[in-house]
C-alpha cells in the first residue's frame, strides 16, 4: 500500500501492462479490417508475438505505464502531505527504500537476507533494491533465489517489493578481496566508483512514495533488528550507527571498523589545501594525517554506553545510513568525483551538511561488520597453528 503520496484522480489511473505498444494497438485495429486475409493476419500476429517476447526478455527492465485510451499520461503527487517524521513512522505508513549494492557477495547473501527478514519495521512498508555489479560468482543467482523465497513467506513477512538491478561496467578495476580493497592507492578510485554505483541504484529505485532511504551493506555480521525504528526515532536528516568488527581473541576480540564517520578538523582542512582537487582523502591511512575525531572511537569498549548518545558528523560511512528521502530529492548524492577532496559517502555527508541538512552518528549504538582475515592475519594464524596456539 502506498503512503500519503498517491495519484489523486482515479480517472487518470494507468493500467500497468508493460507489453502493449502503440504499434501493437495499431496492428490490432488493422486485424479488425483484414479478417478476410487470414494468412496475412496470422503472420502479423506471429511477428507481433515474437516482438513482444523479444522486448520482454531482452529490453524490458520493469513494467511501463501505457495509456490505453489515448487520453495522455497524468499522475499527480502531493508532497505537502509526505512525512519522514521520526518516531511513529510505521503507524503513518511511511515507506522505506532499502538499497544494497553488491559485488561478489555470494558468501553473505543468506546472512544479509536473514538480517533483512528479521527487521521489525513492517515489511510491507519496505521496498528492497539491489544493484549487482561486476560479479563473477553466484551473487545474482543466490539473490534471486532468496528474493523469490521471500514472496512465499506469510503475508505479514513479505516486503513491499524487491527489485534486482544488474549493471556492470562502473569501470571496476579494483579486486574485491580484503587486501585488494584496503591498499591506500586504490581508495580514491574505489570510492568514486562506489559513489557512481550508489547514485545509479538510487535513481533507478527511488519512487514518489518513499519517505526514507536506508543504505545497507551486505557484509554485516550482527545488527539490531529494530535498527530502522531506532535510527528514525532521532529524527535527523541523515544518521548512522557506529560500526565495529569482531576479531579472534588473539587479535583483541573487537575493533573499531568504519573510520569514514568523522567530524571535520582544522588539520584536515589544511591538508586539503595542499592536495590536487581530484584527490580523495581517505581516513585511517598515515598518508592522510587528518586528526579527525572518528565516531568509531567514541564507543565505550565495554559496550555499556548510553545507546541514545548522539553527535553531529561531517563525513559518514556507508555500511548503514538512514536518510530522509527529501535529502536525495534536494539533489544531494554520493559524489563519483572528488567533492571537497571526498567521494561517495563521506562526500555525501559533507554535501548534505553544506546544504543545511542534519548529519549525525550514534557512538554507542553499534552494528558489527563481518570479520575477514587479511593476508597478514592468515599468515599469523598458520604460524599460531604450527605452534599449537589457539586461533579463535
Ligand X SMILES: Nc1nc2c(ncn2[C@@H]2O[C@H](COP(=O)(O)OP(=O)(O)OP(=O)(O)O)[C@@H](O)[C@H]2O)c(=O)[nH]1
Choose the one of Mg ion, ligand X, none that binds residue 133, judging by a C-beta under 5 to 8 angstroms depending on kind.
ligand X
3-state helix/strand/coil string of the chain: CCCCCCCCCHHHCCEECCCCCHHHHHHHHHHHHCCCCHHHHHHHHHHHHHHHHHHHHHHCCCCCEECCCCCCCCCCCCHHHCCCCCCCCCCCCCEEEEEEEECCCHHHHHHHHHHHHHCCCCHHHEEEEEEECCCCCCHHHHHHHHHHHHCCCCHHHCCCEEEEEECCCCCCCCCCCHHHHHCHHHHHHHHHHHHHHHHHHHHHHCCCCEEEEEEECCCEEECCCCHHHHHHCCCCCEEEEEEEEECCHHHCCEEECCCCCECCCHHHHHHHHCCCCCCCCCCCCCCCCCCCCEHHHHCCCCCCCCCCCCEECCECCCCEEEEEHHHHHCCCCCCCCCECCECHHHHHHHHHHHCCCCEEEEEEEEEEECCCCCHHHHHHHHHHHHCCCCCC
Choose the one of Mg ion, ligand X, none that binds residue 318, judging by a C-beta under 5 to 8 angstroms depending on kind.
ligand X
Q: What are phi and psi of 353, to 5 degrees?
A: -60, -45
Interface size with ligand X, residues (CB under 6 A):
19
Q: How far is the CB of 156 from Mg ion (least distance, A)?
A: 31
105 scored as a contact of ligand X (CB under 6 A): yes
163 scored as a contact of ligand X (CB under 6 A): no
CA 191/CA 338 separation, integer angstroms: 9
Subset of 192-231 contacting ligand X (CB under 6 A): 193-194, 197, 217-219
Q: Interface with ligand X by CB under 6 A: which range of 96-104, 304-312, 373-381, 384-392? A: 96-104
Q: How far is the CB of 66 from ligand X (least distance, A)?
A: 31
Half-sphere CA count of 49, side-chain side, radius 13 A:
6
Contact string 113-152 vs ligand X (x = CB under 6 A): ------------------x-xx------------------
Subset of 306-365 contacting ligand X (CB under 6 A): 318-319
In the bound state with ligand X, the residue whose beta carbon lies nearer, of 17 and 378, is 378
In the bound state with ligand X, the residue whose beta carbon lies nearer, of 160 and 318, is 318
CA 189/CA 181 separation, integer angstroms: 10
Subset of 60-79 contacting ligand X (CB under 6 A): none
Q: How far is the CB of 205 from ligand X (least distance, A)?
A: 13
Q: How far is the CB of 172 from ligand X (least distance, A)?
A: 4
Q: How far is the CB of 255 from ligand X (least distance, A)?
A: 12
In the bound state with ligand X, the residue whose beta carbon lies nearer, of 114 and 270, is 114
Q: Interface with ligand X by CB under 6 A: which range of 55-63, 98-106, 270-278, 294-302? A: 98-106
Q: Interface with Mg ion by CB under 5 A: which range of 14-22, 109-117, 161-169, 216-224? A: 216-224
Q: Are strands 359-369 and 311-312 parallel, antiparallel or unpaired?
A: antiparallel
Q: How far is the CB of 283 from ligand X (least distance, A)?
A: 11
101 scored as a contact of ligand X (CB under 6 A): yes
181 scored as a contact of ligand X (CB under 6 A): yes
Q: Interface with ligand X by CB under 6 A: which range of 73-81, 102-110, 266-274, 325-333? A: 102-110
Choose the one of Mg ion, ligand X, none that binds residue 116, judging by a C-beta under 5 to 8 angstroms depending on kind.
none
Residue from 219, 235, 372, 380 in contact with Mg ion (CB under 5 A): 219
Choose the one of Mg ion, ligand X, none that binds residue 218, judging by a C-beta under 5 to 8 angstroms depending on kind.
ligand X
Half-sphere CA count of 172, side-chain side, radius 13 A:
20
What are the beta bridge partners of residue 279?
none
Q: How far is the CB of 1 from ligand X (least distance, A)?
A: 29
In the bound state with Mg ion, the residue whose beta carbon lies nearer, of 219 and 380, is 219
CA 392/CA 219 separation, integer angstroms: 20
Given the rule CB under 5 A, which residues bind Mg ion?
219
Q: Which residues bind ligand X (CB under 6 A)?
A: 100-103, 105, 131, 133-134, 170, 172, 181, 193-194, 197, 217-219, 318-319
Amino acid at each position: 500500500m502506498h503512503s500519503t503520496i498517491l495519484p489523486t484522480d482515479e480517472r487518470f489511473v494507468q493500467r500497468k501492462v508493460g507489453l502493449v505498444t502503440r504499434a501493437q494497438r495499431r496492428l490490432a485495429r488493422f486485424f479488425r479490417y483484414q479478417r478476410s486475409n487470414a494468412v496475412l493476419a496470422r503472420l502479423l500476429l506471429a511477428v507481433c508475438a515474437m516482438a513482444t517476447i523479444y522486448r520482454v526478455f531482452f529490453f524490458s527492465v520493469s513494467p511501463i505505464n501505457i495509456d490505453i485510451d489515448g487520453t495522455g499520461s497524468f499522475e499527480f503527487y502531493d508532497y505537502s502531505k509526505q512525512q519522514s517524521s521520526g518516531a511513529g513512522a510505521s503507524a503513518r505508513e511511511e515507506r522505506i527504500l532499502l538499497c544494497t549494492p553488491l559485488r561478489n557477495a555470494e558468501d553473505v547473501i543468506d546472512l544479509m537476507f536473514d538480517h533483512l527478514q528479521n527487521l521489525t519495521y513492517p515489511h510491507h512498508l519496505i521496498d528492497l533494491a539491489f544493484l549487482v555489479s561486476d560479479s563473477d560468482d553466484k551473487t545474482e543467482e543466490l539473490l534471486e533465489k532468496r528474493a523469490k523465497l521471500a514472496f512465499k513467506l506469510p503475508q505479514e513477512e513479505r516486503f513491499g517489493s524487491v527489485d534486482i538491478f544488474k549493471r556492470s561496467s562502473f569501470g571496476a578495476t579494483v579486486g574485491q578481496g580484503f587486501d585488494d580493497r584496503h591498499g591506500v592507492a586504490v581508495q580514491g578510485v574505489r570510492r568514486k566508483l562506489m559513489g557512481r554505483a550508489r547514485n545509479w541504484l538510487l535513481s533507478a529505485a527511488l519512487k514518489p512514495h518513499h519517505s526514507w532511504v536506508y543504505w545497507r551493506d551486505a557484509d554485516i555480521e550482527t545488527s539490531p533488528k529494530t535498527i530502522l525504528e531506532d535510527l528514525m526515532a532521532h529524527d535527523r536528516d541523515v544518521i548512522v550507527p557506529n560500526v565495529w568488527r569482531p576479531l579472534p581473541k588473539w587479535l583483541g576480540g573487537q575493533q573499531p571498523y568504519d573510520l569514514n564517520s568523522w567530524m571535520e578538523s582544522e588539520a584536515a582542512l589544511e591538508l586539503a589545501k595542499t592536495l590536487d582537487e581530484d584527490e580523495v582523502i581517505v581516513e585511517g591511512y598515515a598518508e592522510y594525517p587528518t586528526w579527525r575525531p572518528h565516531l568509531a572511537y567514541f564507543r565505550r569498549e565495554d559496550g555499556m554506553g548510553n545507546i541514545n548518545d548522539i553527535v553531529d558528523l561531517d563525513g559518514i560511512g556507508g555500511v548503514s545510513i538512514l536518510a530522509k528521502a527529501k535529502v536525495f530529492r534536494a539533489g544531494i548524492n554520493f559524489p563519483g568525483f572528488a567533492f571537497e577532496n571526498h567521494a561517495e559517502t563521506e562526500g555525501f555527508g559533507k554535501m548534505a551538511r553544506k546544504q543545511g541538512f542534519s548529519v549525525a552518528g550514534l557512538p554507542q549504538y553499534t552494528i558489527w561488520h563481518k570479520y575477514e582475515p587479511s593476508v597478514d592475519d592468515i599468515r599469523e594464524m598458520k604460524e599460531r597453528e604450527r605452534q599449537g596456539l589457539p586461533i579463535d
